[in-house]
Amino acid sequence: MATLTDEISRRRTFAIISHPDAGKTTLTEKLLLYGGAIHIAGAVKSNKIKKTATSDWMEIEKQRGISVATSVMGFNYGDYKINILDTPGHQDFAEDTYRTLTAVDSVIIVVDVAKGVEQQTRRLMEVCRMRNTPVIIFVNKLDREGRDPFEILDELEAELKISVRPLSWPINIGAKFKGVYNIYEHSLDLFTPDKQKVSERVEISDVNDPAIDEAVGEADAAKLREDLELIEGVYPEFNVEEYREGLVAPVFFGSALNTFGVKELLDCFVKIAPSPKPTQAEERQVKPEEEAFSGFVFKIHANMDPNHRSCIAFVKICSGKFERNAPYKHIRSGKTLRFAAPTAFMAQKKSIVDEAFPGDIVGIPDTGTFKIGDTLTAGEDLHFKGLPSFSPELFKYIENEDPMKSKQLEKGIQQLMDEGVAQLFVNQFNGRKIIGTVGQLQFEVIQYRLLHEYGAQCRWEPISLHKACWIESDNPEALAAFKKRKHQFMATDREGRDVFLADSGYVLTMARQDFPEINFHFTSEF
Ligand code: G4P
């Protein structure tokens, strides 16, 4: 019988993140192929909401359905149990991605060799850095013309603000791409541009083996040796502890589409990536090996069927063993709940599970009980931290269009905010409700869902806002003075925290200058 510790140490829970089109979906699919979770390429649908589909609601609903199915992909690989948490590709749903990152123990970042570090990768990396999440970088599309690998490494280091350490190295790139030398295992894989055929491995003793010259030609072999010497000179030896502390990111090169360099990535990943780590609760740190179950809700997904307003709450297990039908305490309400039909996703199939372990995600059917960030335990009062809200980018007043349906509107707004679709602020001066989002698409989603799921109609009215920032101070008098002076621009968030609505960057700068005792925060957790 495997013990709890065995179950924990074999688990690897991670997310793949990238700027759209770098190859996240393709890489995910290839990992699933290796795990035997799928058998043919093309089985994983991209959950990208293509730009052209923004006004096509059925399309968005369909896409949402796909993303439920691919929310968590669990499979066994050798002795390991791997859980890949999917993140939405569309940047308007970046907040979803941030929250998913709170439920993973590590991350693989995919970068396009021609494009290098792009905007969304940079932002997601900031979230990883905040949490010291270990990252591995996969430089993709080596079969296409792209940039010099050394240049890419410099860019990764500068833009992602993390030390890098190549663990594999390409021999040429684009049309002349011949393969990858695996620095981690001292092996050589030759590239065959064929999606059906996996690469050919050349047995070599070390980098000086003449078999390399035979396989790739003398000139390329010499260049490879030169490059490797330079790498050894410039980059310190790879240290797995530094990687696990989030200080250094190992880098692999390959081509996801050609299933090239993917197995090397996966084999190294399972060896070095961390198993579930302790989770910080407000009260104390919770270790995965603790006997008593605990977990938190990091995502709530609305049902596709508008007639049944049920959702799936995704719970990340932090400690102990989760058991079906066992009594668990829902900390926010204080109620004891039993879950008769928790689901897990294994090998692309959703099925009811009897038990699950730290690192696993279970889906719990929900009819409005859960809110993002809720904690469940075997009885202890714990509140898991680390689900910050970020200051939204776009703001609009939400108004009721149908006075007969104000209750429905209220309820709809509440539940959509519980799901984490957007953020609600109430202006303390005029009592008006303001919805903040990271993208235009969310306003459309909210309006559509309010109508279709709650029968309520809303109207958006413009508000000119630069940022919403959470404020606090050690000096209660300074805080009171600030709130008095800025009373027209003060709001509260759903937890009742003070939020300052700055209508321009200038106003914010001035406020910071004039009120040095006030701290302004751009995330809700500080
Ligand atoms: P994403 O999830 O990060 O948005 O990217 P996705 O995997 O959908 O890949 C984006 C495009 O890049 C896809 O082409 C995909 O086939 C291609 N691609 C992925 N990996 C590689 C690679 O190693 N080499 C090359 N040359 N291309 C790669 P598409 O035309 O946009 O989509 P599709 O019609 O092929 O699905």
Query: Smallest Cα–Cα separation from 128: which of 4, 18, 293, 284?
Result: 18
Sign of the four-CA dihedral 153, 110, 388, 84: negative
Decide whether any atom of ligand 1 lies within 6 Å of the 25 Cβ.
Answer: yes
Decide whether any atom of ligand 1 lies within 6 Å of the 26 Cβ.
Answer: yes
Residue tagged 């000179």 (tokens): 233
Distance CA 388, CA 56 (A): 31
Report the 3 state secondary structure along 80-146. Answer: EEEEEECCCCCHHHHHHHHHHHCCCCEEEEEEECCCECCHHHHHHHHHHHHCCCCEEEEEECCCCCC
Kindly give the number of the ligand 1 atom that is closest to the alpha carbon of 256: 23
Residue type, 443: F
- 279-377 domain in CATH 3.30.1600.10? no
Question: CA dist 372 to 10, 157, 207, 313, Å?
Answer: 28, 33, 51, 8
Decide whether any atom of ligand 1 lies within 6 Å of the 256 Cβ.
Answer: yes
Q: pTM of the entire structure?
A: 0.84
Residue 52 has pLDDT above 50, yes or no: no
Instruction: Indicate if 394-521 has the same CATH topology as 279-377.
Output: no
Residue tagged 């699950």 (tokens): 356
Distance CA 460, CA 477 (A): 36
Kindly give the number of the ligand 1 atom that is closest to the alpha carbon of 27: 7
Distance CA 10, CA 80 (A): 5
Decide whether any atom of ligand 1 lies within 6 Å of the 96 Cβ.
Answer: no
Average pLDDT, rounded, for the chain: 87
Cα 245 to averaged position of ligand 1 atoms, centre (Å): 31
In the DSSP assignment, the letter for residue 273 is S
Share of the chain above pLDDT 70, in %: 88
Dihedral class, residue 454 (left if φ above 0, else alpha if ψ from -120 to 50, else beta):
alpha
Decide whether any atom of ligand 1 lies within 6 Å of the 47 Cβ.
Answer: no
Q: Where are the domains of the chain?
A: 4-272, 279-377, 394-521
The residue nearest atom 32 of ligand 1, judged by CA position, is: 21
Name the fold adopted by 4-272.
Answer: Rossmann fold (3.40.50)
Position 51 confidence tier, pLDDT thresholds 50, 70, 90: very low
Cα 333 to averaged position of ligand 1 atoms, centre (Å): 45
Please state whether beta strands 163-166 and 248-253 pair in parallel, antiparallel, or not at all (unpaired): parallel
Cα 249 to averaged position of ligand 1 atoms, centre (Å): 24
Tens digits of residue pLDDT in 474-504: 999 999 999 999 999 999 998 899 999 999 9
Tokens of 258: 């050609």
Decide whether any atom of ligand 1 lies within 6 Å of the 141 Cβ.
Answer: yes
Residue 66 has pLDDT above 60, yes or no: no
Tokens of 459: 């109207």
Supply the pLDDT for residue 304. Answer: 52
Cα 26 to averaged position of ligand 1 atoms, centre (Å): 6
Position 170 confidence tier, pLDDT thresholds 50, 70, 90: very high
Distance CA 130, CA 148 (A): 30
Range list of β-strands (E), 276-359:
279-280, 285-286, 294-302, 311-319, 322-323, 327-330, 335-338, 343-346, 349-352, 355-356
- 394-521 domain in CATH 3.30.70.3280? yes
Kindly give the number of the ligand 1 atom that is closest to the alpha carbon of 28: 7
Residue of 16, 17, 19, 21 to mutate, ligand 1, most atoms within 8 A of C-beta = 21
Kindly give the number of the ligand 1 atom that is closest to the alpha carbon of 254: 23
Cα 113 to averaged position of ligand 1 atoms, centre (Å): 13
Supply the pLDDT for residue 87. Answer: 81
Residue 380 has pLDDT above 80, yes or no: yes
Decide whether any atom of ligand 1 lies within 6 Å of the 21 Cβ.
Answer: yes
Among 65-79, 275-289, 358-372, 392-406, the range scoring the smallest mean pLDDT is: 65-79
End-to-end, the C-alpha distance of the chain in Å comes to 43
Supply the pLDDT for residue 37. Answer: 64
